[in-house]
Structure 1
Amino acid sequence: MNFWNRALIIILSLCFLLPVFAADKPNILILGEDAAGDSVPRSSRVFKRVLDALINQMHDKGFDVYDEAVLTLLENNSSHIRRTDSEIIEVARASKRPPIDVVVIFQIYASTQNLEFNTRINTLLMGRLLNVKTGKHLGNFEIDSGKNFTGPAQCQQECILTIVGDKSRILANDLGAVLAEKLVWMNNGDVSEPSKNNKMVTEYALIFDGFNAKEYMAIEEYLVIFSGYTRHRPIEIRHTRSEIWYQSSIGTAKLDRNLNKMLAELDMQSIINFEGNTFTVKRITFRNKEIKENNEVW
């Protein structure tokens, strides 16, 4: 195979790595926007109840929803309250393991009117979907409480938070259901269940360092036939370094054994390091052997 044919194959392969929701179930991150002074801040327990309801709705529809605190290792303190749109998008884009495709951004508004015999409370929830990589707007929706909620006369902050929290959770379920349906439609109506046969799916980052394109293609053929395989997707593909996000129902010990057996079968001497949820496989090369293999290829 001459140089130009090999180059064409690599270019075409990269084209197929572009994110398309129809081919891969999108990874979802749900974030709240509270930059507006009259919106409910993320430090409020009302915010937490709405967030939990939205996550549950997306999860029930079969999407993989990730927790911001785990991904970013941020603590819920005042420095992360009242965040703007740009800050929220940067949080989503910064996540590489897993790669986030769609961010669900929501806002909560609550207003009150104190009357002689009761307190009128109105709640509005707004949500929108954005493609993380392109910033493309994918849809939005809003739901309000319609007929105002009512509380007792002289209903103060604690009283208002309790009422708004109960009602907002109901509204959030409706909002989450609508946004989830939009995502299902964009995914061509095909969203697999969160787990197959009730098995827990574990997610790994697999890094193959020092392997050329031909070697990586041979490795990938093994990865998809490992027991427990669910799906995988590329994070970064370079000439001698490939990183993928790999989902499987097997544990780390068995995956480590499978990787070692695969490398032995392929006669690729390597060292494997594991930390957190990341396997790093580094190729050990020998100059004379490499020259011989290159001569065979050409």
Structure 2
Amino acid sequence: MRLLFAHALIATLLLLSACAGHPAVAAEGPVVMVAGIDRDPDSVVRTNRINQRVEDGLVRQLRDRGYRVVDETAVSLGTLETGRSRRDEGEVIGGARAVTTPPVDLLVLYTIYANAESGNYAKVIRTRVTGRIVNVSSGERLGAFETAFPKPRHAPLGCGRDCILEIAGHQAEILSRDLGSILSAYIESAIQGQTDNLTGITEKQGLVRSYSLAFEQFSTAEITRIEEYLVAFSGYRTYRPVRVMQLHAEYWYETTAEAARMNRNLRKMLDYLGVQGRVAFTGDSFVVRKLPKSAG
């Protein structure tokens, strides 16, 4: 009996893996959002014009490497106060998780530091930019980097505020290109190809995503079978039971599958379990509810 189930399971997973390549839900790569963090009082405030030059430089580097970059203000309307200054990382990550059109996969955060000191014969201007990448769904930090010029820039003693901002802004823009190149390499490493154990097909889309899965009204025997399907889905990384009770089970699930593929795999799983059910999805949470059998 177990042998027959094993064959049925493999046949199911081969079907699901084949369906994963359907154009309707083909992987398009991660959606990236770039945002400035200026919580540190020594950092350049987001409303400073230097900030926009750095953000534009980072966005250009990421787009030139083929990544889909969304504008923070455009996608965060109604969910995040993008005009606020002195924001911390938690506030921005929370806002990114609330974005659903489209959902943000990766958050590129940057902070700018610039200062000018007057010497005996010239002003000394130092500029540096730090950056890090956060997986929005899991909160995992994928990489961090800091870049600065090996030597400070000197300006005449008469160089006023606008002069200093122009010099520091030019330096920061150059540094943003270097930072964008490094962070792009981190992203590439995070989504490097993986090979499906059943089909032997290597997929480019390898970014690990985290989902909350809840199953309602399933018996203990059905939950056991569901767990067997979950670990065999294409892209599976790991899962962890969060809460398991009679007719209710919740899991933390990590996979490289995008939401559309997870949604379809769960619906296909219900078909092969031979039960009627409904799959609901919001943000990074799925709720799968078993429905009573139709009369007759």
Q: TM-score, normalised by structure 2?
A: 0.58
Determine whether 1:150 maps to 2:154.
yes
Determine whether 1:112 maps to 2:116.
yes
Number of corresponding residues:
195
Question: Of residues 224, 231, 234 in structure 1, which corresponds to 2:260?
Answer: 234
1:184 CA drift (Å): 1.3
1:91 CA drift (Å): 1.4
Question: Of residues 59, 63, 66 in structure 2, which corresponds to 1:62?
Answer: 66
Structure 2 unaligned blocks of 5 or more: 21-26, 194-202, 206-257, 268-276, 284-292
Question: Of residues 123, 132, 136 in structure 2, which corresponds to 1:132?
Answer: 136
Give SS of 1:124's match: strand
Change (3 A) 1:244 1:61: farther
Matching residue of 2:167: 163
Q: Distance in 2 between matches of 1:135 and 1:241?
A: 25
Residue identity matched to 1:160? I
Percentage identity across paired residues of the two chains: 33
Q: Distance in 1 between matches of 2:204 and 2:116?
A: 40
Residue identity matched to 1:121? I
Residue identity matched to 1:45? R
Residue identity matched to 1:115? G
Residue identity matched to 2:260? P
Q: Distance in 1 between matches of 2:282 and 2:64?
A: 26
Matching residue of 1:175: 179
Matches within 5 A, 1:1-298: 25-73=29-77, 77=83, 80-188=84-192, 233-234=259-260, 237=263, 239-240=277-278
Contact 2:42 2:113 in 1 (8 A): yes
Contact 2:44 2:112 in 1 (8 A): yes
1:182 CA drift (Å): 1.5
Contact 2:76 2:96 in 1 (8 A): no
1:180 CA drift (Å): 0.5
Give deviations 1:128-166, integer Å, cap 9, x for gaps. 111111111111111012210112213232111110111
Structure 1 unaligned blocks of 5 or more: 18-22, 193-231, 246-289
Give deviations 1:168-204, integer Å, cap 9, x for gaps. 1011001001100111122216879xxxxxxxxxxxx
1:236 CA drift (Å): 8.5
Contact 1:62 1:191 in 2 (8 A): no
Q: Distance in 1 between matches of 2:151 and 2:61?
A: 24
Q: TM-score, normalised by structure 1?
A: 0.57
Q: Distance in 1 between matches of 2:137 and 2:81?
A: 25
User: Which shows bigger deviation, 62-71 or 24-33?
Assistant: 24-33
Q: Distance in 2 between matches of 1:59 and 1:25?
A: 12
Q: Distance in 2 between matches of 1:132 and 1:235?
A: 18
Task: Please provide the CA RMSD for this pair.
Answer: 3.5
Q: Distance in 2 between matches of 1:155 and 1:101?
A: 43
Give SS of 2:260's match: strand
Give SS of 2:172's match: helix
1:242 CA drift (Å): 5.9
